[in-house]
Amino acid sequence: MAAKLWKLARDDGKKEEGGVRICLKPTVTQIADMLGTKRETASRQLKVLVEHFLSAMIRILL
């Protein structure tokens, strides 16, 4: 999931002060479809990413 979010940021992101904003606003269901997983699984994975601040790290790295 982190790799997919990074790719979305790289391909469709808009650079802003402090990071990159993913211009698309996919739903959890759409993210699950992109990953080939269930919505519930994608939701749990997103929660883990947020808890570990990975989304902030992705913005910093880009």
Distance (Å, rounded) from C-alpha 20 to C-alpha 35? 21
Model confidence at 30, pLDDT cuts 50, 70, 90, reads very high
For the chain, the first-to-last Cα distance in angstroms comes to: 16
> What is the per-residue pLDDT for 62?
61
Per-residue pLDDT tens over the stretch 35-48:
999 999 999 998 88
Q: Is the pTM of this model over 0.75?
A: no
Model confidence at 57, pLDDT cuts 50, 70, 90, reads low
Model confidence at 18, pLDDT cuts 50, 70, 90, reads confident
